[in-house]
Amino acid sequence: MTRLDISTGMAFNEFQAVFEKAAPYFDAEDAIRRFTTGGGKSWDDMAAQVADLAPNGLMIYARIDITPALALAGHATKAVEYLMGNHVIAETMLRHDTKAALYAPLRILVHSDPSGNAVFSLDQPSTAFSSLGIDEVTQVGKGLDRKVAALLRVVGVDADEAFSAGPNESPRLR
Does position 17 have pLDDT exceeding 60, yes or no? yes
Q: Is residue 173 part of a domain?
A: no
CA neighbor of 90 nearest in space, from 77, 78, 100, 75 = 100
**Domain with 38 in it:** 3-154
- Model pLDDT, residue 95: 96
Q: Is residue 69 part of a domain?
A: yes
Q: Is residue 164 part of a domain?
A: no
Q: Is residue 166 part of a domain?
A: no
- Model pLDDT, residue 28: 75
**CATH number of residue 43's parent domain:** 3.30.310.70
Is 0.85 surpassed by the pTM of this model? yes
With helix as H, strand as E and coil as C, how does 31-96 read?
Answer: HHHHHHHCCCCCHHHHHHHHHHHCCCCCEEEEEEECHHHHHHCCCCCCEEEEEEECHHHHHHHHCC
CA neighbor of 50 nearest in space, from 63, 31, 33, 34 = 31
- Total count of domains within the chain: 1
> b/e map of 74-85 (b: 16 or more CB within 10 Å)?
eeeebbbbbbbb
Does position 170 have pLDDT exceeding 50, yes or no? no
Q: Is residue 171 part of a domain?
A: no
Q: Is residue 93 part of a domain?
A: yes
Q: Is residue 168 part of a domain?
A: no
pLDDT digits (tens, 9 = 90+) for 104-161: 999 999 999 999 999 999 999 999 999 999 999 999 999 999 999 999 999 999 988 8
Helix or strand run (H / E) with residue 112: strand 106-112
Q: Are strands 59-65 and 3-11 parallel, antiparallel or unpaired?
A: unpaired
Q: Is residue 120 part of a domain?
A: yes
